[in-house]
Amino acid sequence: MRLLLFLLFFCFSSLLLWSQDSPSQSVNIKAKYDSARVEFTQFEKKHGGFIQTKNVTMHYLEWGNPRHTPFIWVHGSFTNAYEFADLAKELVQKGYYVIAIDYYGHGQTPIPTHEVSLYHVADDINTLMSVKKLPKAFIGGWSRGGFIATAFYDAYPEKVLGLVLEDGGSVATNTHYHQLPDSTLNAQVKNIFTDKFSYAAFDTEFEAYKAYYDYSSSGTQFELLAWLGKDSEGKWTIGAGVEKLFHMRNEAEFKETILRPTKASLFGESMSLIEPKIIYRNLHVPLLIIDPTSPNDLFPFEKDNAALQQQHSKFITHKIYLNTGHNVHYEKPKEFLEDVTAFLKRVSER
């Protein structure tokens, strides 16, 4: 349970909870890896691309007809564009052109050498839209990706057709933490780092693939390769450098990001200081808030989301998912797609 809470606290994707049980004797893992490499290369050739922005060479995936209505997705922490692959196929069938990006330190987009923030990612998305000749698009995101979507609206409101925010981006991220007594906050942070989960590092990509392959499932699981990358020492791991980017490597950094954000990295600071109540004060595009709730909800923002919806009832749709964890699109993909497609259709037909 503590590991799960840690992963949720840092907005890790449930997609990364691969089984690391002892390999089955019937699995030829080297053959699986070789096939995965081929499938990954083929998938990237068909759907992948890179674009040079002023900040980074950004990787993205795309599906569908570029002449159709564009929907751009921004992933959550410690995941990447592949988190949206299955959902993208469904949206394409509904007549949308889907792009999912990798932002800094995730997937195949490196961490820039200069300081960057959520707004720098927004600038990268703007460059992508310019190169793709997309004057406007729907922008959506999960968790930290939702905050990037909000930053994009703040910086480029004229380029937004509508917004989809999945448990992130509609309420200031530290709202709940700032309501806790110091003793409770300290205890929660300490608990997180007591059993801190760290991804192992391996000499080769194959060894990392072998370790994270889900032996309880089947197939090549080629998408796993999108999570693997080299750290500063040339070892293969997951999320190399991301905790530093987020300013969350230890208890002190985690608390600084919450309580003294100007002492954090610029990326961590921008996450802490972004205030949707200010950004959306003059909201003029439709917004779908996807709000999961559960008894152990670490982001209990339903009242704040309801207040924002009441303030902008003409534009905001607030969908509550009862007894649902942070990653709605993974836990309840059918309901997620129904709500998103209904929202997109309603807005497109206005």
pLDDT at 102: 99
Residues whose CB is less than 8 angstroms from the CB of residue 344 and which lie 6 or more positions away in sequence, other chains included: 69, 71, 91, 94, 96, 138, 162
The verdict on residue 314 lying in a domain is yes
Average pLDDT of the segment spanning 40-48: 99
Q: Read off the pLDDT of residues 293-339 as tens digits, 9 standing for 90 and up.
A: 998 887 899 999 999 999 999 999 999 999 999 999 999 999 999 99
- CATH, residue 313: 3.40.50.1820
pTM to 2 decimal places: 0.93
Q: Can you give the pLDDT at residue 9?
A: 39
Q: Decide: helix, strand or coil at residue 328.
A: helix
12 vs 86, higher pLDDT: 86
Whole-number pLDDT of residue 26: 73
Per-residue model confidence as pLDDT tens digits over 147-178: 999 999 999 999 999 999 999 999 999 999 99
Give a yes or no: residue 230 inside a domain. no
Beta bridge partners of 165: 141, 289
- Give yes or no for residue 24 having a pLDDT over 60: no
Residue 292 · residue 167 · CB < 8 Å: yes
Return the residue matching tokens 């997705």: 73
In the chain, the percentage of residues whose pLDDT exceeds 70 is 93
Report the pLDDT value the prediction gives residue 199, as an integer from 0 to 100: 86
Which residue bears the tokens 């990787």? 59
pLDDT digits (tens, 9 = 90+) for 197-246: 788 999 999 999 999 999 999 999 999 999 999 999 999 999 999 999 99
Higher local confidence (pLDDT), 23 or 27: 27
DSSP, res 313: T
pLDDT (0 to 100) of residue 196 = 76
Nearest-angstrom CA–CA distance, 14 and 19 = 12
Burial letters 85-102, b for 16+ CB under 10 A, else e: bebbebbbebebbbbbbb
The mean-pLDDT minimum among 174-188, 257-271, 327-341 falls in 174-188
Domain of 248 in residue numbering reads as 2-194+241-348
How far is the C-alpha of 153 from the C-alpha of 315, rounded, in Å? 14
Bridge partners for 74 per DSSP: 101, 141
Q: Is 143 within a domain?
A: yes
State the amino acid at position 329 in one-letter form: H
Residue 212, domain member (yes or no):
no
pLDDT classification of 347: cutoffs 50, 70, 90: very high
**Rounded to an integer, what distance in angstroms lies between the CA atom of residue 125 and that of residue 291?**
25
Residue 225 covered by a domain: no
Q: What's the whole-number mean pLDDT along residues 247-263?
A: 96
pLDDT at position 185 over 50: yes
Residue 23 has a pLDDT of 54
Q: Look at residue 12 and tell me whether its pLDDT is greater than 50.
A: no
Does any domain span residue 218? Answer: no
pLDDT of residue 197: 73
CA distance readout (Å), 300 to 17, 70, 106, 179, 324:
23, 31, 27, 11, 12
> How many domains is the chain built from?
1
Residue 288 contacts residue 317 (beta carbons within 8 Å): yes
Residue 234 lies in a domain: no
Do the Cβ atoms of 301 and 283 come closer than 8 Å? no
In a domain, 214, yes or no: no
Neighbours of 28 (CB within 10 A): 11
